Amino acid sequence: MSSLTAASPSAPSVPAGTPRTSAAKRRARFTPYMLLLPASAVLMIVIGWPLIQLFIISFQEFGRAQVFGAPAPFIGLDNYTKVLGDPAYWNVMVRSLLFCVVNVVVTMVGGTLVALLMTKLNKFFRVLMSVGLLLAWAMPALTATIVWGWMFDTSYGVVNYVLTDLVGLDFHAHSWLINPLSFFFVATLIVVWGAIPFVAFTVYAGLTQIPDEIMEAAQLDGARGTQRFRLIVFPYLRSIFLVVTILQVIWDLRVFTQIFALQGIGGIREQTSTLGVYIYQVALGSGEYGVGGAIAVITVFFMMAISLYYVRQSLKEEQL
């Protein structure tokens, strides 16, 4: 009696290049774009359309009358000519750039030092410092500005009290916000205080990825702390420092809440306005929406140039 062996059915193999595999490849090629489509549509509606409207207004004579329905005549580049020929705009631009540079340098140095300190602390103090940084980071900018404004208050501020009664300096009833230099000193404290946690956490995350063997070998070779940071840490974290620095430049150039709130407490607007506050004052304060739109468009292109530089540097890092 012969035994019969039943062969299990197998799926027919599909040769490469058939219509079925070609369709699958096309679907796989377009899948990432389809996944990005919903988010791109939301961004176009929320950000793209207002930017288009802003760009159009910047070429029109758009004031309070146009807000209530009057026609907005097209005036070409007159708004841009008016802005670029206004000395007040250039004063604000230079002031904003200097303010940005100081904030970025202090924030990057302070955040990096805090991150390095966190690597030396034990678990308890590292968690305690992380909680403190998170609380500072989570506090709204307006709330932080009001609290710092109370601390530097002329009559009952704790800063004047400490400097006068404890240190012995003559700061009785000293006004910190009336002088532009001390105004930006206070503003820098507020901005840096709120920005250091982001830098510290980002750099600390990068520091934890550096192999311990490399650091220990450099220490055994006699490299000092500054040498280890310059020759080992910084090259490892170059891309992180680049990203964080560019983000800080963008954020500090468009600071609005801290400057606007401090001006309300006691600062002189004409001497302390930065780009964000100046656009608000020109557009809403003076009712020159077309001129304000032109300033905003110039600022947008300036930010785009910084962002394109970041993208180019990121692509270079990926190709290495």
Query: Could you tell me what percent of the chain has a pLDDT over 70?
Result: 90
Q: What is the pTM of this model?
A: 0.81
Strand, helix or coil for residue 60: strand
pLDDT digits (tens, 9 = 90+) for 21-73: 666 677 777 788 888 888 888 888 888 888 888 899 999 888 888 878 888 88
pLDDT digits (tens, 9 = 90+) for 199-251: 999 999 998 888 888 888 887 877 787 888 888 888 888 888 988 998 899 88
**Is the model's pLDDT at 158 over the cut of 70?**
yes
Beta-carbon neighbour count of residue 72 at 10 Å?
A: 17
Give residue 157's identity as a one-letter amino acid code. Answer: G
Beta-carbon neighbour count of residue 318 at 10 Å?
A: 8
Q: Supply 26's token pair.
A: 């096309």
> DSSP of 112-179, one letter per residue?
HHHHHHHHHS-HHHHHHHHHHHHHHHHS-HHHHHHHHHHHT-TTT-HHHHIIIIIS----TT--SSSS
Q: Supply 302's token pair.
A: 């300036």
Alpha carbons within 13 angstroms on the beta-carbon side of residue 308 total 6
Measured in degrees and rounded to the nearest 5, phi and psi for residue 74 equal -80, 125
Architecture of domain 66-319: Orthogonal Bundle (1.10)
The pLDDT confidence band at residue 3, using thresholds 50, 70 and 90, is very low
Strand, helix or coil for residue 248: helix
Residue pointed to by tokens 């220990």: 216
Q: What's the confidence (pLDDT) of residue 267? A: 81
Report how far residue 228's alpha carbon sits from residue 212's, in angstroms, rounded to the nearest whole number.
Answer: 12
> Contact 284/277 with Cβ under 8 angstroms?
no
Measured in degrees and rounded to the nearest 5, phi and psi for residue 139 equal -65, 130
pLDDT digits (tens, 9 = 90+) for 84-112: 999 999 999 999 999 999 999 999 999 99
**Structural domain boundaries of the chain?**
66-319
Give residue 34's identity as a one-letter amino acid code. Answer: M
Report how far residue 185's alpha carbon sits from residue 102's, in angstroms, rounded to the nearest whole number.
Answer: 10
